[in-house]
């Protein structure tokens, strides 16, 4: 079966296709044309559907897959990494999304999961065993910290947290038992930028795997595989979904690791439903345009906030005043709309008055949708290797697709409430 796109001079890409003999999804390597990111996002994973001219993949609600003969069934079963014989192992709808995401990332293969946390659990579960040591960044997304402290340690995995600014110094923390280094850059809540190339170099010199949570950047703003990372993790609930209406995740790896990841996903049963896969793929098509707008509006508002007398510091690596700016500029090609603000010392009551009265900033976790959000944060609660010592309260803003003038007017009225409280 053919895939879309001219097969002219190009380079190897991975495609899923529907094998009509096996009535199942199969995986092939083909040659695709060179193209830029925005073109790739539009063309990636577009399976040709022989029965209709639909642009988008059909949504397969599938548990059982039927085979015409025993021979076809046995053949499919023997190719379990290439062919799905059961809904939990993949459907044409999940395969189309995996192909598209993998093509954008440039990894070997992607597994989509029922949440970002499921993607992380699969990746950690696939490679860590009792007796292994995991080096975890101190600024990790805090549910991952709980997963480490409450679950991994019970399974005999030793977890130690390291300073996000450790850089090449990570080498001194690697022991004979260290199996994986985990990075998330910029860090959750406080947005420290890690020197990922220095860390991945040190890890690989010692034969240690390196995994990265790349949700803040998406593959468009930070290319994990160009920075020598083995395992790319994303919550698709954020920018890829993009509309605050789904929870999903993805693990993309290099070639030697993909079978272990797929096996773990299948055994843990972390498969997403087909409707969510469809929505994620639909969200993905407009990702570059949305991300650029989030970045532009986010930077305008971050700069405006940095000039306010109520603000002590804005935590946004794309601002030239940010301590992580030089590394961000070197390694990243953009920023989204999520950043932090440290306020000058002020009462909790005043912060609540400011946040409660916003018209356009909803109070809620998550981000990556079309609408602006805000939450108060407490980074000091989730640090053990480093200390968070800001003198005032911290707030996290997510800048949506509203007009920046309306957002700034809303923020300005908020500061009036803060001062009046
Ligand atoms: C939201 C998030 C996750 C978890 O993703 P879910 O889809 O909510 O499970 C992991 N890492 C980061 C950085 C996130 O923002």
| Sequential DSSP letters for 344-387 | PS--HHHHHHHHHT-SS-EE-S---SSS-EEEEE-GGGG-SSS-
User: Residue 270 has what pLDDT?
Assistant: 98
Query: What CA–CA distance (Å, rounded) separates 213 from 141?
Result: 9
CB of 185 shorter than 6 A to ligand 1: no
Lowest-confidence region among 20-24, 282-286, 351-355, 357-361? 20-24
Atom of ligand 1 nearest to the CA of 248: 7
DSSP string, 114-126: SSHHHHHHHHHHH
User: Is the pLDDT reported for residue 12 higher than 90?
Assistant: no
Block residue for tokens 């999940």: 94
Block residue for tokens 């395969």: 95
Of 146 and 7, which is predicted with more confidence? 146
CB of 217 shorter than 6 A to ligand 1: no
User: Is the pLDDT reported for residue 200 higher than 70?
Assistant: yes
Of 1 and 118, which is predicted with more confidence? 118
CB of 41 shorter than 6 A to ligand 1: no
Atom of ligand 1 nearest to the CA of 366: 1
User: Residue 32 has what pLDDT?
Assistant: 64
Mutate which of 238, 245, 249, 367 for ligand 1? The one with the most ligand atoms within 8 Å of its CB, which is 238
Return the percentage of the chain with pLDDT > 70, whole number: 91
User: Is the pLDDT reported for residue 30 higher than 90?
Assistant: no
User: Residue 17 has what pLDDT?
Assistant: 57
Ligand 1: centre distance to CA 118 (Å): 9
Mutate which of 235, 251, 366, 396 for ligand 1? The one with the most ligand atoms within 8 Å of its CB, which is 235
Atom of ligand 1 nearest to the CA of 215: 13
Atom of ligand 1 nearest to the CA of 119: 9
Query: pTM here?
Result: 0.94
Lowest-confidence region among 47-51, 209-213, 314-318? 47-51
Atom of ligand 1 nearest to the CA of 238: 1
Residues 6 or more apart whose Cβ sits within 8 Å of residue 20 = 1
In the three-class reduction of DSSP (H, G, I as helix; E, B as strand; rest coil), residue 193 is classed as: coil
How do residues 393-421 score in pLDDT, each as one tens digit? 999 999 999 999 999 999 999 999 999 99
Confidence of residue 7 (pLDDT cuts 50, 70, 90): very low
Ligand 1: centre distance to CA 168 (Å): 27
Of 39 and 167, which is predicted with more confidence? 167
Average per-residue pLDDT for the chain: 91
Query: What CA–CA distance (Å, rounded) separates 360 from 348?
Result: 21
User: Is the pLDDT reported for residue 348 higher than 50?
Assistant: yes
Lowest-confidence region among 52-66, 105-119, 366-380? 52-66
Ligand 1: centre distance to CA 226 (Å): 22
User: Residue 181 has what pLDDT?
Assistant: 98
Residue 396 structure tokens: 């996290």
Ligand 1: centre distance to CA 258 (Å): 21
User: Is the pLDDT reported for residue 46 higher than 90?
Assistant: no
How do residues 148-158 score in pLDDT, each as one tens digit? 999 999 999 99
User: Is the pLDDT reported for residue 38 higher than 70?
Assistant: yes
How do residues 250-283 score in pLDDT, each as one tens digit? 999 999 999 999 999 999 999 999 999 999 999 9
Protein residue with its CA nearest to atom 5 in ligand 1 = 116
Protein residue with its CA nearest to atom 2 in ligand 1 = 235
Return the percentage of the chain with pLDDT > 90, whole number: 82
How do residues 76-119 score in pLDDT, each as one tens digit? 999 888 788 999 999 989 988 998 999 899 888 999 999 999 99
Ligand 1: centre distance to CA 146 (Å): 13
Ligand 1: centre distance to CA 58 (Å): 27
User: Residue 5 has what pLDDT?
Assistant: 31
Cβ burial, residue 401 (10 Å; 0-12/13-18/19+): middle
User: Is the pLDDT reported for residue 177 higher than 50?
Assistant: yes
User: Is the pLDDT reported for residue 6 higher than 70?
Assistant: no
User: Is the pLDDT reported for residue 15 higher than 70?
Assistant: no
Protein residue with its CA nearest to atom 7 in ligand 1 = 116
């Amino acid at each position: 079966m053919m895939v879309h796109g001219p097969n002219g001079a190009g380079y190897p890409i991975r495609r899923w296709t529907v094998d009509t003999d096996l009535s199942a999804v199969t995986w092939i390597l083909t040659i695709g044309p060179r193209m830029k990111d925005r073109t790739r996002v539009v063309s990636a994973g577009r399976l040709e559907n022989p029965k209709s001219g639909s642009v988008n993949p059909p949504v397969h609600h599938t548990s059982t897959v039927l085979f015409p003969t025993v021979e076809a069934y046995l053949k499919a079963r023997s190719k379990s990494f290439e062919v799905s014989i059961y809904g939990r192992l993949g459907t044409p709808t999940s395969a189309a999304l995996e192909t598209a995401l993998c093509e954008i990332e440039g990894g070997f293969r992607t597994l989509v999961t029922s949440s970002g946390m499921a993607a992380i659990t699969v990746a950690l579960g696939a490679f860590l065993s009792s007796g292994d040591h995991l080096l975890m960044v101190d600024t990790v997304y805090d549910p991952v910290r709980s997963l480490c402290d409450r679950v991994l340690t019970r399974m005999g995995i030793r977890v130690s947290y390291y300073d996000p600014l450790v850089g090449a110094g990570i080498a001194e923390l690697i022991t004979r038992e260290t199996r994986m280094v985990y990075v998330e850059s910029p860090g959750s809540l406080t947005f420290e930028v890690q020197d990922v190339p220095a860390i991945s170099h040190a890890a690989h010199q010692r034969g240690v795997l390196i995994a990265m949570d790349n949700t803040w950047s998406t593959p468009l703003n930070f290319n994990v595989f160009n920075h020598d990372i083995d395992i790319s993790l994303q919550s698709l609930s954020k920018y890829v979904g993009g509309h605050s209406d789904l929870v999903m995740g993805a693990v993309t790896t290099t070639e030697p690791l993909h079978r272990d990841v797929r096996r773990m996903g299948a055994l843990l049963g972390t498969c997403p439903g087909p409707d969510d896969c469809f929505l994620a793929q639909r969200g993905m098509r407009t990702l570059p345009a949305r991300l650029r707008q989030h970045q532009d509006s986010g930077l305008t508002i971050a700069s405006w906030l940095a000039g306010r007398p109520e603000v002590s510091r804005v935590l946004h690596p794309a601002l030239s005043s940010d301590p992580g700016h030089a590394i961000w500029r070197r390694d990243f090609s953009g920023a989204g709309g999520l950043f932090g603000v440290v306020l000058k010392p002020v009462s909790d009551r005043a912060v609540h008055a400011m946040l409660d009265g916003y018209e356009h900033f909803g109070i809620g976790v998550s981000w990556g949708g079309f609408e602006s959000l805000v939450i108060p944060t407490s980074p000091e609660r989730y640090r053990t290797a480093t200390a968070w010592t800001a003198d005032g309260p911290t707030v996290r803003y997510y800048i949506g697709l509203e007009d920046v003038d309306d957002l700034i007017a809303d923020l300005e009225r908020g500061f009036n409430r803060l001062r009046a409280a």
